[in-house]
Chains A and B, each alone.
Chain A
């Protein structure tokens, strides 16, 4: 049900080192199925047809973007330099990927070993979210081949984006490190696993530092435009803490959403331990998210009071702001609080989904809708929307590919190493 493998790879492997690579491809990549069986399986799932349609239109658009420039696939606006690609891909994906550092902190630092069954899913969600945020960035950057310039060629260390670039790069490496144990179990690399185990505490603390700073820095980027963004969406003193605090519940709610999807659509890959503890973990995570939401709402109020912005609340923009707060934060807060008190798992899941959408809404408001609020509004080009969907489709395919193979939703047993990991 995942992306079909490259034929040339498997044939080259067959002719090369006798047996070993071929065994790896058929056993690990194809999950002990013949290429033909595998393809039949892939196309028996209607969701894959949907993904295929998105990619069939999206990949040519991607080629068009690199061959003829950003202007040919986006609205290429001089007034709105950051569009949907960054608004969704970078500013939206990064808070939803705070899950990795949150769960590793809870388990490794605070000793909440009851959350262990979901730790790897949260780590993977973080790693993939960051990786694909960089992919979105590579689509949107004018000269993506210069991505490493701030690291090696020319330095502007006093700029907020310099911090974001370095921290996202470093944090990606940290997250790869944190995922090595799962990968090591899959390919049978014991030394790699042992090494990471020894440095887990260091990796986790590095994760907290880097996350605090770059989640905040994404907010602080907008402090460069204090006059351009509607005052209700920008308060220079608190912007970084707004972004950081909201990323906490965003990451926790994203784990609840993903674990829900997994529990429904990838049930075969979840072991008993994961399935049995999911309800309990969902309640724990919801409580954590609710605390973060209350904190967020309070700091939002502090910012309103500090900047004396009460008057704006009575305008049209104020109504829009209040609706974002009510639908995106207060309603999920009520659902999570009530649901976790009365153990209503579906309510917690709906509340989490709402919170995730609320975060995306808030980030899109800050980047696009409430930016240049005194100027005209611009509607993103449909090709840009489609590009966003295309990268999202590749993200989903990669996510699923890994969940099917690596021991994320199940605990690895040595007897599993031969072939099919889960029963």
Chain B
């Protein structure tokens, strides 16, 4: 009997302690989403377009690492750059990354640009997903879970960089395909993604995002004239883990410069804020109108003269 009482008291103590910790937790660490500055240890990759020569080694390494289907034409076939007249290649359901060539007006030699998921710090795909299929890890990788995906493709609409791709050819397990930062195979152990390790020109630098921003600024400062003074991805869509520096204006090499400098979710917040308003105000408002209308009808029933005077008014 005594032991039961003891355990009961213990249970109460433990639950109270739990509640108190829960209440105190927000005081210790600011848990509000809007104030969260991002993970400090967040990783990233700096892409230096001035170093890239378009060898497509990164494409091959990515294909191997992620066991993607063999490409229609081998990765050492450079003629693929010549056949991009109408629209350029983009990451799709068979390739997580592609390199495109641009003939920029500001540069004599062509410029190459690697495209993959930029791993936003506040990803639009994640915030737009209604089944929570996307997660972001402390390392900054944005991951997709095919097991809960319904295939609505809202993430493809939401992504400002148009990265997620859909397996339209699959009838029974179509899923979204996109770069996963090599999280399951490499990043989780602190190793750089396959493309970075494969790059023979050191065009891709892996490291902590904060450190990469410092490196980028240094390179721009030390090599006067070689770079445009801009780091693409520092603020785009609220900041991305993958950052770009280039020697030509970014809009000349296919970058969208109109991408908002704030997280995409900010544009949706106005609507999300009215939801609780409508849910709480509408019932009272419309029930009230109904009661007023009903009361007037009863009043007219009791005193038909009211209706007549009303009728005269509308007729006049």
Contacts and interface: CB of A to CB of B under 8 A. Distances in A.
A142 B256 contact: no
Given A71-B168, A142-B175, A213 B150 contact: no
B130 A220 contact: no
Contacts of B11: none
Given A111-B294, A205-B287, A226-B267, A161 B133 contact: no
Nearest to A201: B290
Contacts, number: 177
A227 B260 contact: yes
Nearest to B270: A237
A111 to B, nearest CB: 4
Interface string B118-133: 0000001001111111
B255 to A, nearest CB: 12
A44 interface: no
A108 interface: yes
Given A160-B128, A227-B258, A147 B169 contact: no
A387 interface: no
B149 interface: yes
Interface in B4-63: none
Interface in B90-115: 90, 92-93
A150 interface: yes
Where chain A touches its partner, the secondary structure class is: helix
Contacts of B160: 225, 227-228
A240 B271 contact: yes
Contacts of B151: 141-144, 146
A374 B254 CA distance: 11
A155 B131 contact: yes
Contacts of B282: 205, 208-209, 212
B247 interface: no
A236 interface: yes
Interface in B111-170: 124, 127-133, 148-154, 156-158, 160, 162, 165-170
Nearest to B177: A78
Interface stretch (A62-70, A272-280, A314-322): A62-70
B132 A156 contact: yes
B289 interface: yes
Contact of B162 (A79, A154, A236): A79
A111 B169 contact: no
Interface string B264-280: 10011011101100110
Contacts of A147: 150
What band does the interface of chain A fall in when counting residues whose beta carbon is under 8 Å from B? 35 or more
A110 B293 contact: yes
A376 to B, nearest CB: 5
A320 B195 CA distance: 44
B225 interface: no
Contacts of A212: 278, 282
A314 to B, nearest CB: 19
A205 B158 contact: no
A66 B267 CA distance: 36
Most chain A CB inside 10 Å of its own CB: which residue of B132, B154, B160, B268: B268
Contact of A109 (B90, B129, B264, B290): B290
B118 to A, nearest CB: 14
Contact of B87 (A158, A159, A237, A375): A375
Given A142-B149, A158-B272, A212-B278, A224 B128 contact: yes
Contact of B268 (A74, A154, A224, A376): A224
27 contacts: A67-B171, A69-B170, A71-B169, A78-B93, A78-B162, A78-B166, A79-B90, A111-B293, A146-B150, A146-B151, A150-B150, A154-B132, A156-B131, A159-B129, A160-B272, A161-B128, A161-B129, A205-B283, A208-B282, A209-B278, A216-B274, A224-B158, A227-B160, A227-B260, A237-B270, A240-B274, A371-B157
Interface of A: 66-72, 74, 76, 78-79, 81-82, 105, 108-111, 141-144, 146-147, 149-150, 153-156, 158-165, 201, 204-205, 208-209, 212-213, 216-217, 219-228, 236-237, 239-240, 371, 374-376
Which 6 pairs between the two chains have the least Cβ-Cβ distance? A142-B151, A71-B168, A76-B168, A220-B271, A81-B153, A224-B158
Interface of B: 86-87, 90, 92-93, 124, 127-133, 148-154, 156-158, 160, 162, 165-171, 173-175, 256, 258-260, 264, 267-268, 270-272, 274-275, 278-279, 282-283, 286-287, 289-290, 293-294, 297
Given A150-B150, A159-B154, 18 more contacts: A69-B170, A76-B169, A78-B92, A78-B165, A79-B162, A81-B153, A108-B290, A109-B286, A141-B152, A159-B129, A161-B128, A162-B130, A209-B282, A216-B274, A217-B271, A220-B272, A225-B160, A227-B256
